[in-house]
Amino acid sequence: MKGEREKLAEKYFNCSESERAAFEAGIKLGTIYHQFVGTPINEENAGLLERAMVEGTMIQPFVIDAEVHIERGPLKSKKGEFDYVSLSGPMLAVRLVVGYGNVKVIARMKHIPEINYPLMYIEDITRIEKR
């Protein structure tokens, strides 16, 4: 059941349910990337940061599930007491499930070595039966 705000917002989206679900997934991935890249991180707080990203994402509209993994390897490069690592895009692996209308999108962000880039992409789009 759609709320009043969603009904009012719907008129601004000139697209299919699949396109809207993909748009919503992209917004969420972009939010994770741009909000958290650059955060000071170490081995002790990496799990806390992963959980904060998941919890912050789960309260956003249309999110069904979220998983975040931070690659721990770069965290071992700390050279001294006052040294720290900043979270970077290649350290992130994210899986989101977004539902809109009768569509479910699985979207991912992960570092793709062949292109040396933290790619955000659609893994799957499926129609779901509403009961």
SS3 113: coil
The whole-angstrom separation of Cα 81 and Cα 79 is 7
**Mean pLDDT across 36-54:** 94
| Residue 1 pLDDT greater than 80, yes or no | no
| pLDDT surpasses 60 at 96 | yes
Domain ranges of the chain: 16-127
More confident residue, 54 or 1: 54
For 47-73, how does the pLDDT look when each residue is reduced to its tens digit (9 = 90+)? 999 999 999 999 999 999 999 999 999
- What sign results for the dihedral spanned by CA atoms 66, 85, 40, 72? positive
The CATH class that applies to domain 16-127 reads alpha beta
Percent residues over pLDDT 90 in the chain: 76
> Which residues are within 8 A (CB) of 57 and not within 5 positions of it... i.e. 6 or more apart?
28, 31, 32, 63, 66, 68, 96
Given a cut of 90, whether residue 128 has pLDDT beyond it is: no
pLDDT at 129: 78
pTM of the model: 0.89
The pLDDT score that the predictor gives to residue 131 is 61
CA 37 to chain centre: 12
Average pLDDT over residues 17-45: 95
Name the least confident of 2-16, 27-41, 48-62, 71-85: 71-85
What is the model's pLDDT at position 94?
98
